[in-house]
């Protein structure tokens, strides 16, 4: 049994034993050495932080970035930043990040928040 505290609410959740693969340490993240690939990865990561946490504190924004990078390193997810961010975007449901399939990308950005 694990206890989670979210905004002052205590949630208790029972989890089945994780599969053996989930216990393996993720590989360290290495940024692409190719300049174009690096720029694309940075753009995808920036989009994830902007659309998922632009109204959050700096810690909330860092948390979104960390989730993306943790998934890139984990063998159960795509091995690129853009692959993780846009995983499932081609389906009506199942998006890893809601902004990739809810139409948010079609709206303009708020320049003050895109920094």
pLDDT tens digit string along 64-92? 999 999 999 998 999 999 999 999 887 76
To which H or E segment does residue 11 belong?
strand 9-13
Mean pLDDT score across all residues of the chain: 76
List the CATH code of the domain at 33-113. 1.10.10.2520
62 near 42, Cβ under 8 Å? no
- Identify the pLDDT of residue 1: 39
Mean pLDDT of 90-107: 80
The domain locations on the chain are 33-113
Residue 46's pLDDT is what? 92
Residue 71: enclosing H or E segment and its boundaries?
helix 58-73
d(CA 97, CA 40) in angstroms, rounded, equals 17
């Amino acid at each position: 049994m694990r206890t989670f505290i979210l905004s002052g609410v205590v949630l208790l959740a029972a989890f089945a034993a994780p599969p053996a693969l989930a216990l393996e340490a993720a590989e360290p993240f290495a940024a692409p050495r190719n300049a174009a690939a690096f720029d694309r990865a940075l753009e995808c990561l920036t989009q994830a932080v902007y659309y998922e946490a632009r109204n959050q504190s700096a810690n909330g924004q860092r948390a979104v970035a960390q989730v993306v990078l943790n998934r890139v390193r984990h063998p159960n997810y795509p091995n690129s930043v853009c692959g993780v961010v846009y995983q499932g975007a081609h389906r009506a449901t199942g998006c890893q990040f809601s902004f990739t399939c809810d139409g948010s990308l079609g709206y303009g950005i708020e320049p003050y928040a895109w920094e």
